[in-house]
């Protein structure tokens, strides 16, 4: 009986299969698998905090989309974990994109809750104009140059401040390393990591009249940015006035009323 050599036929089949796969257009190719999926929840509100119903909410590339309910709440299922964007759209409002990093870990559950604030197109235009003025003012005063070139210091940007819901200046700044919020007679008081704190507001030395007076005379919604230099690190100009005290933390606050 004649023996048939099947090896060439097998090789031809494999080659044709490879060519067939290569011919698939990129847009139809299968997306790489992720380590897991999560359920994303959140709430969409307008500039005044009122819920926004019927807004379209989705994560690009995740294949899921939903709408907010009457209370502005939404739920997205089967969203790949890792860095993603939550996009919200509704007619009459400027589209909003929020960066997120979703996680399947139970301890990171808060990462999978994303609240979004929608602005009307006119409100978004006003905000963009204000942000441009703020950025230009901070750049003129060397804030961004120091942020990019000085190591060991901590910089609180306008974006960082916008993401917080602090009620007082001490509450806002106590989240910064090297600063500690302690109780005082008239309210919370900021202290440096080693007790000593040198404070500057809009480039000028701040001489407190009583402990915690920053909360009285500097509205938290007026704080535009801050920079903090830890003990042992010499602060750069314009925060080097007076005798050098290396055991002190140096706090510099920039306000919109002065720089904007």
* Digit-coded pLDDT (tens) for 31-68: 444 468 999 999 999 999 999 999 999 999 888 899 99
Are residues 155 and 174 both part of a single domain? yes
Q: Is residue 12 part of a domain?
A: no
Total domains present in the chain: 2
Are residues 101 and 159 both part of a single domain? no
Instruction: Give percent above pLDDT 90 in the chain.
Output: 52
177: pLDDT strictly greater than 60: yes
Are residues 242 and 176 both part of a single domain? yes
| 243-248 average pLDDT score | 75
Tell me the pLDDT of the chain averaged across its residues. 83
Better-scored residue on pLDDT, 191 or 7: 191
Q: Which of 58, 92, 119 is the last residue of a domain?
A: 119
Are residues 152 and 58 both part of a single domain? no
Q: Which of 92, 119, 146 is the last residue of a domain?
A: 119
Taking a C-beta distance cutoff of 8 angstroms, is the pair 236, 155 a contact?
no
- Residue 10 pLDDT grade (very low, low, confident, very high; cuts 50, 70, 90): very low
What pLDDT does 143 receive?
A: 95
The CATH number of residue 74's host domain is: 2.60.40.1120
What pLDDT does 211 receive?
A: 84
Rounded Cα distance, 174 and 251, in Å: 11
Better-scored residue on pLDDT, 229 or 259: 229
Are residues 206 and 239 both part of a single domain? yes
Are residues 104 and 156 both part of a single domain? no
Are residues 68 and 175 both part of a single domain? no
CB atoms within 10 A of CB 74: 23
Q: What is the pLDDT of residues 217-237, one digit of tens each?
A: 999 999 999 999 999 888 998
Q: What is the pLDDT of residues 181-214, one digit of tens each?
A: 888 777 788 888 888 899 999 999 998 888 888 8
Q: Is residue 86 part of a domain?
A: yes
CB atoms within 10 A of CB 145: 12
Strand partners, 249: 197
- Phi and psi based region of residue 63 (left: phi greater than 0; alpha: psi -120 to 50; beta: remaining): left
Better-scored residue on pLDDT, 163 or 260: 163
15: pLDDT strictly greater than 50: no
Rg (CA), the chain: 27
Place of tokens 């210091």: 153
Are residues 157 and 105 both part of a single domain? no
Q: Is residue 234 part of a domain?
A: yes
Better-scored residue on pLDDT, 167 or 18: 167
Rounded Cα distance, 142 and 160, in Å: 18
The CATH number of residue 248's host domain is: 2.170.130.10
Q: Is residue 1 part of a domain?
A: no
Taking a C-beta distance cutoff of 8 angstroms, is the pair 155, 147 a contact?
yes
What pLDDT does 244 receive?
A: 66
Rounded Cα distance, 193 and 228, in Å: 11
Is the Cα torsion angle 178, 150, 142, 224 positive or negative in sign? negative
Are residues 193 and 227 both part of a single domain? yes
29 phi/psi in degrees, rounded to 5: -70, 155
Q: Is residue 199 part of a domain?
A: yes
Q: Is residue 155 part of a domain?
A: yes
Closest residue by Cα to residue 228 from 159, 157, 139: 157
- Per DSSP bridges, beta strands 197-201 and 249-255 are parallel
The reported pTM is 0.64
Are residues 213 and 240 both part of a single domain? yes
The whole domain housing 54 covers 37-119
Rounded Cα distance, 211 and 158, in Å: 26
Are residues 89 and 43 both part of a single domain? yes
Q: What is the pLDDT of residues 130-153, one digit of tens each?
A: 889 999 999 999 999 999 999 999
Strand partners, 229: 250
Are residues 238 and 172 both part of a single domain? yes
| 76-93 average pLDDT score | 94
Q: Around 34, how many Cα atoms within 13 Å sit in the side-chain half-sphere?
A: 16
What pLDDT does 192 receive?
A: 85
């Amino acid at each position: 009986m004649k023996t048939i050599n099947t090896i060439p036929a097998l090789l031809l089949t494999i080659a044709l299969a490879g060519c067939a796969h290569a011919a698939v257009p990129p847009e139809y190719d299968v997306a790489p698998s992720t380590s897991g999926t999560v359920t994303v929840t959140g709430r969409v509100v307008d500039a005044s905090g009122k819920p926004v119903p019927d807004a379209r909410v989705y994560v690009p590339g995740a294949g899921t989309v939903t709408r907010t309910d009457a209370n502005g709440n939404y739920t997205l299922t089967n969203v790949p974990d890792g860095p993603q964007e939550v996009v919200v759209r509704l007619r009459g409002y400027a589209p909003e994109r929020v960066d997120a990093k979703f996680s399947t870990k139970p301890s990171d559950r808060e990462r999978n809750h994303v609240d979004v604030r929608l602005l009307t197109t006119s409100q978004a235009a006003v905000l963009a104009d204000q942000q441009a003025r703020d950025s230009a003012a901070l750049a003129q005063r060397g804030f961004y140059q120091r942020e990019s070139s000085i190591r060991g210091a901590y910089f609180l940007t306008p974006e960082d401040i916008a993401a917080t819901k602090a009620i007082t200046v001490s509450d806002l700044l106590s989240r910064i390393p090297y600063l500690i919020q302690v109780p005082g007679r008239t309210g919370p008081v900021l202290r440096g990591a080693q007790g000593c704190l040198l404070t500057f507001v809009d480039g000028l030395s701040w001489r407190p009249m009583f402990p915690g007076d920053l909360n009285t005379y500097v509205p938290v919604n007026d704080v535009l940015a801050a920079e903090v230099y830890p003990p042992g690190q010499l602060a750069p100009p314009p925060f080097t006035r007076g005798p050098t005290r290396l055991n002190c933390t140096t706090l510099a606050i920039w306000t919109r009323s002065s720089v904007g």
